[in-house]
Every structure is written in structure tokens, then in C-alpha cells.
């Protein structure tokens, strides 16, 4: 097969995956999502030992 055929197959598969994911995933509640960057947000750090406050 030629390169344009493979490119078309790739884009069809990728767009098909996005369409399938859109149909089968639930709605996103943006108010319950954690902040992308919590620096200066007032939230206490959580995680590994380096985030320990004691």
C-alpha cells in the first residue's frame, strides 16, 4: 500500500476511537476535578513523604 492509504487508515481509526470514547464516557464534572496546578491555592499538599507536614 502507498503512504496516503496508510495515512487515511490512521486518521479513520483515530477519529473512530475518539467517536467511540465520546459515546461511551460519562460527562465530566469540572467542579469536582482537582486543580491542574495547586500552587498557592490554599490546599494542603498530599502525596509522598516529601509532602508530609510533620
CA distances from 26 to 16, 21, 52 (A): 18, 9, 34
Query: What is the spatial distance between Cα 32 and Cα 21, in angstroms, rounded to a whole number?
Result: 21
Judged by phi (left if over 0) then psi (alpha if -120 to 50, else beta), residue 26 lies in beta
**Total-model pTM:** 0.52
Q: Across the chain, how many H-helices and E-strands are there?
A: 1, 0
pLDDT in tens, 2-50: 899 999 999 999 999 999 999 999 888 878 776 666 565 566 656 665 6
Amino acid at each position: 500500500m502507498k503512504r496516503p492509504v496508510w495515512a487515511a487508515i490512521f486518521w479513520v481509526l483515530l477519529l473512530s476511537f475518539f467517536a467511540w470514547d465520546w459515546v461511551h464516557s460519562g460527562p465530566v464534572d469540572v467542579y469536582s476535578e482537582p486543580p491542574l496546578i495547586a500552587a498557592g491555592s490554599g490546599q494542603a499538599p498530599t502525596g509522598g513523604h516529601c509532602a508530609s507536614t510533620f
